[in-house]
Amino acid sequence: MSILSENYEFRICSTNIIAFNNDLFLYESGDAELEFELHRLVHAGKLSFLTVPEGVQILKQSNAKEFRKVNFCSPVPPVGSTGPCDCFINFTTISCTVVNVDAVCTIPSTNLPAHIVTTGACTNLNGTLTSGFINQNFTLCSDELEVTISGFPSVCPDDIVTDTWGPQIVCDNGDKHPDWDWLESGDVALSYQTSYGTTLFAAKEKAHAFSLKRIDGEWEYRDVDELSATIIANRLGEDDCEFKANESETDDCDNCKERVATVKGNQKTAHCPGDVFGSYHLKEGNTVITDWNHQIEFDCCI
């Protein structure tokens, strides 16, 4: 085993392994394009189940059972047998609770039947695969999905492979800078954005608002009687998705045209849907424009 770089990465034989955020990301060494993309995601702090490119196997660092199955000294394999029927099971995560099962148990270039048994899915299988293989999505309805595939009894009775897949626990640690939103009433408008971003030293949730008036047919930034922006943020731990803190801040004024409310926290912050939202209020004369629950969209599986 050798340490490769500052990218939380090491190598065992021909397999490169990145240890990041309690996950292990395994890929075959020598793929320069894949390596560049993984390193870019590491440096951006965005490498996760949600962003990982194709060609990478993901294991939880705590999952010793799965780690022991990996043959590091050849290209990263699916779980497989060594008998004549060349059985294997390969899981590809589709979403938090949906997985694609690619499994086969037959002699290469033949179509011997195989037998498959699944447990833990919303719809399970227990029967014969006439072609010897399956490629199908399963939705999890329990703690884990277990798949067993076995070879044609008279040809390879000892070729039996079992593997399990569990639900993904992932919260979103990515920066979010959505497009600015716009509300108008008559000749008055509110332009606003709720965002989340990280710097070298901190993570920031922000509510930002501008007031505008239509002057001679053109929108211009102008003062209004009242303008306010409020940011409310729940913070989750980046590693465990557990609740860490709640913060809020309001910035309001009379006779102004811009307000910014910001809360700051540790870099190792993540969110799920509903964790960060802004509230906005504008008043000019009898005109009132509000958006009390302007949420940031996050991708999260917990």
Tens of pLDDT, residue by residue over 157-210, are: 888 999 998 876 778 888 999 999 999 999 999 999 999 998 877 889 999 999
CA 229, CA 98: separation in Å to the nearest integer?
A: 39
pLDDT band of 71, cuts 50, 70, 90: low
Express each pLDDT in 140-152 by its tens digit.
898 889 999 998 8
> DSSP code of 178?
P
Output the pLDDT for position 44: 85
Output the pLDDT for position 242: 87
| DSSP H helical ranges for 62-107 | 64-69
**Domains observed in the chain:** 1-76 (no CATH), 78-168 (2.60.40), 181-295 (2.60.40)
pLDDT band of 74, cuts 50, 70, 90: very low
Contacts of 25 (CB under 8 A, 6+ apart): 17, 18, 38, 47, 52, 56, 57, 58
Name the token pair of 256.
């102004």
84: left (phi over 0), alpha (psi -120 to 50) or beta: alpha
Output the pLDDT for position 279: 98
Range name among 6-20, 201-215, 274-288 with the lowest pLDDT average: 6-20
CA 242, CA 219: separation in Å to the nearest integer?
A: 44
Output the pLDDT for position 101: 94
Checking DSSP bridges between strand 203-215 and strand 218-221, what pairing results, if any? antiparallel
For residues 103-118, give the mean pLDDT: 86
3-class DSSP state for residue 102?
strand
CA 277, CA 297: separation in Å to the nearest integer?
A: 9
pLDDT band of 97, cuts 50, 70, 90: confident
Express each pLDDT in 260-274 by its tens digit.
999 998 777 899 999
List the beta bridge partners of residue 166. Answer: none
